[in-house]
Structure 1
Amino acid sequence: MNRSAVAHIPTSQYAFARSEDTFTVRLRAAKGDLDSCTLFYGDRACPESPVRFTSERMQKRYSDELFDFYEVTISPCPSRICYYFELEKEEEHIWYYADAFHQDMPDLVMDDGFVVEGRSEYYQYPYILRSEIVKAPEWFLNAVVYNIFPDSFADGKRRLTCGQKEQQAPHGTISRSRLGGTIKGIMENLDYIQELGFTCLYLNPVFQAGEYHKYDIVDYFHVDPCMGTDEDFLALTEAVHERGMHIIIDGVFNHSSWYFPPFDDVVKNGEKSPYTDWFYELSFPVKRPEEGETPGYACFAYEPKMPKLNTANPEVQEYFAKVGRYWIETFHVDGWRLDVANEVDKNFWRTFCSAVRQADPDAVLIGEVWENAQDWLKGDMFDSVMNYDFRKHCRDFFALEKTAADEFLWAMTDMQLRYPFQVTAAQLNLLDSHDVARFLGLCKDDYDRWQTAFLYLCMAPGVPSIFYGDEKKLTGIRESEYRQAMPWKQNHTDSETFVKEVLRIRKDWISPEDGWRTIHAGHKDRLLVFERFGAHTIRIIIHTGEAPADTDPFLQGGQILLLKGALSHMLTQNGFIILLMR
């Protein structure tokens, strides 16, 4: 037995409560090494001695290049749990607990028959507290998200006139628009979005700001005048909710505009300003630098127009907690996507989360964290993050064709195991956004490759999100290209129909609680076969290799729901099949 590969981490993604009476345990072992793995669990506070244990055979649920991952879910389970593992390989039989291997259990029986029990030596989950069970709002787990960059989307029904403009705003500032999209334009196209199958809007910033992207916010309590009015936005949220849909807005709290009133006060009053501790690394006198000058304050990404906020300051935390509550209570938004979340003080997010939860316990909080986000996903800050690692793996396999099918699914397996199950189910999966190249552009405008990636996006665990216009084959590598105007006048019925059909299958046959498993991942044939299983079992076959792939072994006992590129039992390049398994 390869003991060096065995791992278990208590109170982590390896041992977590899914509800008050449901508990999941995972153990890692070397790939192909163990013959069996059994979990023994009991009530750690039971009055009997020794503890009465129940055994459950663990299933090998996941594998990557190096490891197998065994998993079992106990339901119902004790509120206080102690547990250990029995590992077997051929003639070798050992117990694993306290991060060590043992030939004997920790119970010691004395000569007089008195039991001295070492129950504290077992693995422990002290108590399943309701307040510590991490789970995103149910509506979000079932959502399909349509991400709109407001300036680029619409100013009327199936229309964007692409009118660049400047408008005088409160506080004596100028608001700019590049393409002229408006709040009313979004509202007039809700039917289009809903008919495609999307259930939730995520809007990039709509607050009063200077530049067209609206990430340099001047006023956090009003809509930007180039986009419309506060009344327009309230009408939009009401129209969204009348359709049974939801709406999420973008919160930019890491930095502000250099015309944000507190920063403006620092510029005007210097060290006498009551806001000097609202910002980072101020050098007095503070001034707005000319182009090419180094600013005398910290900024977002060295952009002088966006001074960085000191989010550790309790006054700053309370101010933005008020912002968080205001947009929920006044405009009834359903949640926040939170910009540059990994650069913001974690107590800021705890304060913000508490304020939002008080306003609406069912609001969702999504952080922009591009890397592993375990620190932010423990229930006291965010429900979800934008899953850029998901995009990275899809980019390397579907678009750039840098990785093989087995390498791709190994990477995705690691992502499934990065967090507890219900946290993985809430990740906002994406192929592109306002910050990265269009996925179709990365595919060198090969729409067939985009289709296979979109299919995977919608069939994989997590909440799928697409950027406006992807369904109309928008492409582009540079910022001005991937934020281009929505091509309302172009006819892309084929791709829109494809999006509708995939989203319909997801809605009809896949649930957030469904499991995920690999059936086949070829190294040379670039054939992926995986399943989502729960109330129904859906098998997805995707082939991206040049030579046709034989799919006959994977078709037995299935009803075809969607098919492209099948020649008899062979699947052509960028072909796919979705099967409902009987």
Structure 2
Amino acid sequence: MSHTPPSWVADAVFYQIFPDRFARSARVPKPARLEAWDVPPTRHGYKGGDLLGVVERLGWLADLGITGLYLNPIFQSASNHRYHAYDYLSVDPLLGGNAAFDTLIRAAHERGMRVVLDGVFNHTGRGFFPFHDVLENGADSPYLDWFTIHGMPVNAYDLSRPPDYEAWWRLHALPKLNTGNPEVREYLMRVAEHWIQRGADGWRLDVPEEITTPGFWEEFRSRVKAVNPEAYLVGEIWHPAPEWTVSGERFDGVMNYVLTEAVLRFAAGERIDPAVVAPVNLTLQPPFGAAGYREAVDRLLATYPGEAQRGNLNLLGSHDTPRVLSMVGEDRDAVILAAVLLFTFTGAPCIYYGDEVGLTGHHDPGGRGAFPWERPETWDRVLLEGFRSLAALRKNHPALRRGGYRHLGAAGDCYGFVREGEGEALAVVVNAGSTPARMALPASGGAPVRLWGGGEWVGGEAQAEVPGRSAGVWRLGEGSTAT
């Protein structure tokens, strides 16, 4: 089976939203006991963001250049992140319920935006009705085999003793589903089909490697694609994983944390804050020079050849990492350089909500703060314009979305490459060093024209000169080729 991701993914710019923290609408009733919106987040507190809040900010997102939304879990749960699902068929009332979901789908689709949901099918919450039935009825529960129970009575709440059932990371709150049970498998397949039928445009699949039942993900893909062949399936896998995508039998792409590592090691270098990144599963040291980054790109393109790379979700950070600005020692230039590499690479770029205005924060819960809508004076306008202009650049130049990728040069801290196809060729030069650097550009078809960023064309030497800690994008003349 060949790998062909949905056609729209290569053209998408995604925006990841943690629903409790993005935007709060007055139209969704809320309990009185909520954390204040503008105070630092806590691990268990709720701030009251909801799906109608997302609807009310769609215009702002469209202006940013967003064409796809990736929502962290939205189903009824007893946690602010909602990875502890209680009811897979009900949107959490705090988010506005199923009606708010329908409103969001209609409003997003009217703007040409896609909506991808977060699917947590390896484990559930203790309040999930089959597990609750096991707690109530023990060995007499008809749902006993939906889980792997090691002893009776089931200990789900005494944290002084380990859970006597299989649980994700041995956490009492996250009983693992027995996907080897045909009843469980069928239930989850129907959940996946249901939300695609209701208008969702795809699934981001949480910890898919934890589900080892043979054929599970192959059937999942078949069932979802039967409902909507253009549905996007992307897996949360942190390491190189061509076996999950290249054959076209499981996913269309993965969350490209391998690219995240390479981009930040080059763009930030020694500015990476080791204390901030220590708790997360990212390798951001030692720094990369241009040659190291080039080698990392070669490995990545070899791992995901051709169409396989176009299906990947490329990101600088997520709810599972510290904020990118914090990871790079709050060096704005490093974030902009990283964003240039992200938006000009093959695959769909994704902005984690708030990164574009300079939110900071360490690992969970620090990286999950509320978007400061009421304090626009705190926004980093340089970052905001950087992300907005890069999204526009990508939209206006199909070579960045669908063209081939060729190295141009790698010397010291200066790296260049060409994206070529769709009737155009664009050269991208990123200077991560602190002093100006030059890079020869193909000029057989005429002088290159700068489209974005800094740098000057030195015609007599057929080179682009790029200031330190900056980047430039040039359109090459017709007939120019990368060497």
**TMscore range, shorter length:** 0.7 to 0.9
Q: CA deviation at 1:555?
A: 7.5
Q: Does the 8 Å contact 1:386/1:430 carry over to 2?
A: yes
The equivalent residue for 1:472 is 357
The equivalent residue for 1:408 is 293
Task: Give secondary structure in 2 for the equivalent of 1:255.
Answer: coil
Q: For the residues of structure 2 that align with 1:421 and 1:379, how far apart are their CA atoms?
A: 12
Q: CA deviation at 1:284?
A: 2.1
Structure whose residues are more often strand by fraction? 1
Task: Give secondary structure in 1 for the equivalent of 2:52.
Answer: helix
Q: Does the 8 Å contact 2:21/2:368 carry over to 1?
A: yes
Q: How does 1:281-430 map to 2 (within 5 A)?
A: 281-330=149-198, 332-344=199-211, 345-377=213-245, 378-401=247-270, 402-430=287-315
Q: For the residues of structure 1 that align with 2:107 and 2:138, how far apart are their CA atoms?
A: 46
Change (3 A) 1:370 1:529: same
Is 1:490–2:376 an aligned residue pair? yes
The one-letter amino acid paired with 1:393 is A
Q: How does 1:552-571 map to 2 (within 5 A)?
A: 553-554=440-441, 556=443, 557-564=447-454, 570-571=465-466
Change (3 A) 1:478 1:318: same
Give the unaligned 5+ runs of structure 2.
36-43, 271-286, 459-463, 478-483
Task: Give secondary structure in 2 for the equivalent of 1:441.
Answer: helix
Q: TM-score, normalised by structure 2?
A: 0.86
Q: For the residues of structure 2 that align with 1:346 and 1:483, how far apart are their CA atoms?
A: 35
Q: Deviations over 1:508-530 (max 9, x none)?
A: 113443110111111xx200111
Q: TM-score, normalised by structure 1?
A: 0.72
Q: CA RMSD in A?
A: 2.0
Q: For the residues of structure 2 that align with 1:250 and 1:143, how far apart are their CA atoms?
A: 17
Q: CA deviation at 1:133?
A: 2.2
Q: For the residues of structure 2 that align with 1:547 and 1:346, how far apart are their CA atoms?
A: 54
Task: Give secondary structure in 2 for the equivalent of 1:337.
Answer: strand
Of 387, 401, 414, the residue aligned with 1:499 is 387
The one-letter amino acid paired with 2:385 is T
Is 1:149–2:37 an aligned residue pair? no
Of 83, 87, 90, the residue aligned with 1:222 is 90
Task: Give secondary structure in 1 for the equivalent of 2:469.
Answer: strand
Of 118, 121, 139, the residue aligned with 1:253 is 121
Change (3 A) 1:151 1:163: farther
Is 1:213–2:213 an aligned residue pair? no
Q: For the residues of structure 1 that align with 2:118 and 2:414, how far apart are their CA atoms?
A: 38
Task: Give secondary structure in 2 for the equivalent of 1:323.
Answer: helix
The one-letter amino acid paired with 1:575 is S
Q: CA deviation at 1:409?
A: 1.3
Q: How does 1:55-94 map to 2 (within 5 A)?
A: none
The equivalent residue for 1:110 is none
Q: CA deviation at 1:177?
A: 5.5
The one-letter amino acid paired with 2:471 is F
Give the unaligned 5+ runs of structure 1.
1-131, 167-175
Q: For the residues of structure 2 that align with 1:567 and 1:439, how far apart are their CA atoms?
A: 31
Q: Does the 8 Å contact 2:9/2:310 carry over to 1?
A: no
The equivalent residue for 2:397 is 509
Structure whose residues are more often helix by fraction? 2
The equivalent residue for 1:531 is 418
Q: For the residues of structure 2 that align with 1:555 and 1:357, how far apart are their CA atoms?
A: 43
Of 472, 475, 478, the residue aligned with 1:580 is 475
The equivalent residue for 2:41 is none
Of 280, 284, 287, the residue aligned with 2:148 is 280
Q: Deviations over 1:161-184 (max 9, x none)?
A: 998539xxxxxxxxx852210111
The equivalent residue for 1:61 is none
Q: For the residues of structure 2 that align with 1:140 and 1:548, how far apart are their CA atoms?
A: 36
The one-letter amino acid paired with 1:544 is A
Q: Work out which of the two has the higher radius of gyration on C-alpha atoms and give 1 or 2.
A: 1
Change (3 A) 1:408 1:134: same
Task: Give secondary structure in 1 for the equivalent of 2:258.
Answer: helix
Q: For the residues of structure 2 that align with 1:580 and 1:164, how far apart are their CA atoms?
A: 55
Report sequence identity in percent.
Answer: 36
Q: Deviations over 1:36-76 (max 9, x none)?
A: xxxxxxxxxxxxxxxxxxxxxxxxxxxxxxxxxxxxxxxxx
Q: Deviations over 1:109-130 (max 9, x none)?
A: xxxxxxxxxxxxxxxxxxxxxx
